[in-house]
Structure 1
Amino acid sequence: MEINEILDVTKVDPTTTTIENTENNGYFSVFQFDFTQKLSLVCSTKKQFSSSVLDCLNHSKMFEKLEDMYIPNASEGNFFKNAKWSPDGACILTSSNDNILRIFDLPVNVLETANELDLNSVLTCHAGETIYDFCWYPMMSSQDPVTCCFLSSNREHPIQLWDAYTGKVRCSYTIIDHRDEVVGPNALTFNLDGSKIYCGYKNMIKIFDSNRPGRDGEDCKTTPSRKSKEGQKGIISCLSFNPDRSGLYAAGSYSQTIGLYDESNNELCCVLQGTKKELIGDVTQVQFSRDGKYLFSASRKDDFIRCWDIRNTGEILYKLQRNGNTNQRLSFDIDIAGSHLITGSLDGKIIVYDLVNLNAKGCPQKVLDMPAHGDAISAISIHPSLQLIASCSGQRKFKSIDAVISKEQNRNITSDNSLKVWRAKGDYTWRYYNTGGEILIHNTEGDENTTSNPEVNNVEDYFENDKGTVNIDSRVVGLEVDLTVVEEQMNIDNNINTTSENGTDNYIMSFVKFT
Structure 2
Amino acid sequence: MPPKCVAQKQSELRPLLSGSAPPFKHGQWSADGTCLMAASVTSDIQTFVVPADLLDEDRDKRLPLTSYCTIPSPEPVNAVVGFPNFHLQDHASALVLSSAREHPIRLNSALSSNLVASYPLVNEMTEQYISPHSLTFNSTGTCFVAGSDSAIAVFDVSRPGQEPLAYSKTGPKNSRDSRWNPTTSMKGLVSALAVELSSSILAAGTLTRSVALYSSTGQGDCIGAFSVQGNQADSAIHGAGITQLHWSQCGRYLFITERKSDGVMVYDIRQTGQLLSWAEGRCARSNQRLGVDISSANGRDSCSCEVWAGGVDGRVRMWREPHLQEGALQPCLEFMAHNGTSTHYIAPV
For normalisation by structure 1, the TM-score amounts to 0.60
**Cα offset, 1:165, TM superposition:** 2.5
Structure ranking higher on relative contact order (CA contacts 8 Å, 6+ apart): 1
Partner SS for 2:45: strand
Task: Return 5+ residue gaps in structure 2 as ranges.
Answer: 298-303
Tell me which residue corresponds to 1:16: none
Is 2:81 aligned against 1:135?
A: yes
**Cα offset, 1:123, TM superposition:** 0.4
Tell me which residue corresponds to 1:310: 269
- The match for 1:161 among 107, 112, 116 is 107
**Cα offset, 1:356, TM superposition:** 6.7
How big is each residue's C-alpha offset from its partner over 1:262-312, in whole Å with a ceiling of 9 and x where there is no partner?
116421111121344647531011111111111001111111210011023
> Given that residues 100 and 127 in structure 1 are in contact (C-alpha distance below 8 angstroms), is that contact kept between their aligned partners in structure 2?
yes
- The match for 2:332 among 367, 385, 399 is 367
Is 2:311 aligned against 1:350?
A: no
Amino acid at match of 2:214: Y
Is 2:341 aligned against 1:380?
A: yes
- How many angstroms apart in 2 are the aligned matches of 1:47 and 1:299? 29
Tell me which residue corresponds to 1:220: 168
Partner SS for 1:146: helix
> Given that residues 247 and 255 in structure 2 are in contact (C-alpha distance below 8 angstroms), is that contact kept between their aligned partners in structure 1?
yes
Is 2:53 aligned against 1:79?
A: no
Tell me which residue corresponds to 1:44: 8
> Given that residues 254 and 268 in structure 2 are in contact (C-alpha distance below 8 angstroms), is that contact kept between their aligned partners in structure 1?
yes
Amino acid at match of 1:48: E
Partner SS for 2:92: helix
Which one has a bigger Cα radius of gyration?
Answer: 1
**Cα offset, 1:223, TM superposition:** 0.9
> Given that residues 355 and 365 in structure 1 are in contact (C-alpha distance below 8 angstroms), is that contact kept between their aligned partners in structure 2?
no
Tell me which residue corresponds to 2:306: 340
- How many angstroms apart in 2 are the aligned matches of 1:276 and 1:91? 40
Is 2:76 aligned against 1:111?
A: no
How big is each residue's C-alpha offset from its partner over 1:116-162, in whole Å with a ceiling of 9 and x where there is no partner?
12111010010111111111110111222211111011111110000
Equivalent residues in 2 for 1:259-278 (5 A)? 259-263=212-216, 265-276=219-230, 278=234
> Given that residues 355 and 364 in structure 1 are in contact (C-alpha distance below 8 angstroms), is that contact kept between their aligned partners in structure 2?
no
> Residues 247 and 383 from structure 1, CA distance in 2 versus in 1: closer, same or farther, beyond 3 angstroms?
same
Amino acid at match of 1:53: L
Q: CA RMSD in A?
A: 2.1
**Cα offset, 1:354, TM superposition:** 0.8
> Given that residues 220 and 266 in structure 1 are in contact (C-alpha distance below 8 angstroms), is that contact kept between their aligned partners in structure 2?
no
**Cα offset, 1:225, TM superposition:** 5.5
Query: Larger % of helix: which?
Result: 1
> Residues 236 and 127 from structure 1, CA distance in 2 versus in 1: closer, same or farther, beyond 3 angstroms?
same
**Cα offset, 1:107, TM superposition:** 1.5
Amino acid at match of 1:52: P
How big is each residue's C-alpha offset from its partner over 1:295-354, in whole Å with a ceiling of 9 and x where there is no partner?
001111111210011023221111111111000001211113342111111111110111
Is 2:40 aligned against 1:92?
A: no
- How many angstroms apart in 2 are the aligned matches of 1:248 and 1:335? 20
**Cα offset, 1:235, TM superposition:** 0.7
- The match for 1:207 among 154, 163, 176 is 154
